[in-house]
């Protein structure tokens, strides 16, 4: 078992921009827009802001409010699918025989969001960009909590946008853009444990993201993530 302290968090989805928005929505859900409205991202200079795609705007919108008083912090950037709308548009361009946009290409890598945020914040702390098929959330937290062994605070940022229609038959994705930013600390905040344990490979009725957000909002004290190979993960808020 591994423990960490959650000092602060923030989450972003279309129409859900505060912790209380999330709490109300989880109790009385309604369909969210598939697209994130244009966020102002005023903290980022306009010449850099133009480089943020919807995925980056979503992730930055969740993370930046947590980092206002933080000058340097290592980050774990976790996204299951990455910027699939962008990579698909580049692939379609190749298929049409068009030369590829250098900007588009540079932003299509999995660590693009972390790179943009690093430039915007002038923070050269180390970043780790991960993708995971199953259990993205506990794996991202495991990486971040492990990094806490050598750092006082670590940012853990989990984000995805809906898959383009072409890919939707092949893999599940949330129907709305989503980002969860968590500030993990060694010594400040709520105690949370993360534990791996034997688990049945049961299909839960709601998605990992929705169950995680119920846990974040304090509606559930524990959240389980069922895994393949009969091993799963549980996050637990300590009393």
Partner 1 sequence: MSNLHQEIKQMIIDALDLEDIEAAEIHDDEPLFVDGLGLDSIDALEIGLALQKHYGIKLKSDSEETRQHFASVNALAALIQSQSNNK
Binding site for partner 1 (CB under 8 A): 46-47, 50-51, 99, 101-103, 106
Nearer to partner 1, 111 or 193 (CB): 111
CB 52 within 8 A of CB 43: no
Name the minimum Å distance from CB 49 to partner 1. Answer: 9
Which residue lies nearer to partner 1 by CB, 105 or 204? 105
Give the pairing type, strands 127-130 and 75-78: parallel
C-beta closer to partner 1: residue 47 or 229: 47
Answer for the pair 142, 2: CB distance below 8 angstroms, yes or no. yes
* Least CB distance to partner 1 at residue 32 (A): 26
Cβ closer to partner 1: 116 or 137? 116
> Nearest-CA neighbor of 146 among 194, 181, 94?
194
Q: Residue 236 forms beta bridges with which residues?
A: 193, 222
Distance of CA 133 to the CA centre of its chain: 14
Do 180 and 22 touch, CB atoms closer than 8 A?
Answer: no
Residues 3, 193 contacting (CB under 8 angstroms): yes
Least distance (Å) from partner 1 to the CB of residue 61?
Answer: 18
- Residue 51 Cβ vs partner 1, minimum distance, rounded to whole Å: 8
Query: Residue 23 or residue 104: which is nearer to partner 1 going by CB?
Result: 104
Least distance between partner 1 and beta carbon 179 (Å) = 22
Rounded Cα–Cα distance for residues 134 and 33 (Å): 25
């Amino acid at each position: 078992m591994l423990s960490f302290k959650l000092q602060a968090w923030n989450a972003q989805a279309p129409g859900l921009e505060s912790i209380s928005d999330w709490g109300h929505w989880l109790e009385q859900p309604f369909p969210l827009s598939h697209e994130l409205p244009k966020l102002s991202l005023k903290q980022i200079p306009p010449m850099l802001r133009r480089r943020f795609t919807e995925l980056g705007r979503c992730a930055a919108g969740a993370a930046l409010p947590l980092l206002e008083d933080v000058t340097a912090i290592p980050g774990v950037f976790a996204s299951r699918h990455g910027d699939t709308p962008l990579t698909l548009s580049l692939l379609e361009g190749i298929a049409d025989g068009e030369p590829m946009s250098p900007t588009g290409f540079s932003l299509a890598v999995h660590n693009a969001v972390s790179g943009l945020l690093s430039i915007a914040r002038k923070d050269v702390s180390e970043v780790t960009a991960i993708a995971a098929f199953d259990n993205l959330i506990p794996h991202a937290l495991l990486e971040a909590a492990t990094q806490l062994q050598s750092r006082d605070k670590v940012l853990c940022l989990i984000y995805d946008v809906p898959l383009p229609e072409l890919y939707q038959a092949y893999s599940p994705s949330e129907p709305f853009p989503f980002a969860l930013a968590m500030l993990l600390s060694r010594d400040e905040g709520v105690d949370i444990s993360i534990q791996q344990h034997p688990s049945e490979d049961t299909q839960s009725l709601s998605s990992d993201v929705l169950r995680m957000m119920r846990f974040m909002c304090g509606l559930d004290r524990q959240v389980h993530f069922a895994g393949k190979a009969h091993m799963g993960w549980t996050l637990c808020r300590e009393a």
